[in-house]
Amino acid sequence: MTNELNELATFATVATERSFTRAAAKLGLSQSALSHTIRRLEQRLDVQLLARTTKSVAPTAAGAALLKDLAPALEQIGRAVDGARSNRHRPAGRLRIIMSRSAVEMVLLPRLAAFAEAYPDIVLDVVTATGPIDLVAGEFDAGIQLGEYIQKDMIAVRVTPELRLAVVGSPLYFASRQIPQAPSDLKDHRCITLRFAGRPYRWEFEKRGKSTTIGANGPLVVDDTHLVIQSALAGVGLGLAYEEQVADDIANGRLIRVLEDWTPPIPGFFLYYPSRQHQPAALAALVRTLRFSG
Q: Which domain holds residue 254?
A: 165-262
Name 142's bridge partners: 97
Task: Assess whether 241 and 196 both reside in one domain.
Answer: yes
Task: Assess whether 12 and 39 both reside in one domain.
Answer: yes
Q: What is the pLDDT of residue 170?
A: 97
Tell me which residue of 214, 225, 220, 165 sits closest to 190, measured CA to CA.
220
Name 96's bridge partners: 125
List, in order, residues 6 or more apart from 247 with CB less than 8 Å away. none
Boundary residue ending a domain (47, 62, 89)? 89
Task: Assess whether 193 and 223 both reside in one domain.
Answer: yes
Decide: 91 and 282 in contact? Cβ < 8 Å.
yes
Task: Assess whether 11 and 82 both reside in one domain.
Answer: yes
Tell me which residue of 189, 211, 192, 215 sits closest to 202, measured CA to CA.
215
What CATH code is carried by the domain that includes residue 110? 3.40.190.10
Task: Assess whether 192 and 235 both reside in one domain.
Answer: yes
Boundary residue ending a domain (60, 89, 118)? 89
Q: What is the pLDDT of residue 243?
A: 96
Q: What is the pLDDT of residue 2?
A: 60
Rounded alpha-carbon distances, angstroms, from residue 42 to 31, 45, 211: 17, 5, 77
What CATH code is carried by the domain that includes residue 74? 1.10.10.10
Rounded alpha-carbon distances, angstroms, from residue 83 to 78, 89, 98, 118, 148: 8, 10, 26, 20, 37
3-class DSSP state of 142: strand
Task: Assess whether 132 and 207 both reside in one domain.
Answer: no
Q: What is the pLDDT of residue 137?
A: 87
Boundary residue ending a domain (35, 54, 89)? 89
Task: Assess whether 256 and 277 both reside in one domain.
Answer: no
- Report how many domains make up the chain: 3
Task: Assess whether 151 and 278 both reside in one domain.
Answer: yes
Task: Assess whether 146 and 169 both reside in one domain.
Answer: no
Task: Assess whether 222 and 210 both reside in one domain.
Answer: yes
Q: What is the pLDDT of residue 88?
A: 59
Angle in degrees, 0-180, between the axes of helices 20-27 and 31-45, rounded to the nearest 10: 100
Task: Assess whether 81 and 107 both reside in one domain.
Answer: no
Which tens digit of pLDDT belongs to each residue from 219-240?
999 989 999 999 999 999 999 9
Q: What is the pLDDT of residue 19?
A: 87
pTM above 0.85, yes or no: no
Task: Assess whether 44 and 121 both reside in one domain.
Answer: no
What CATH code is carried by the domain that includes residue 217? 3.40.190.290
Q: What is the pLDDT of residue 29?
A: 87
Q: Give CA–CA dist 186/71, Å, rounded.
A: 74
Spans in the chain with pLDDT lower than 70: 1-2, 82-89, 276-278
Q: What is the pLDDT of residue 87?
A: 57
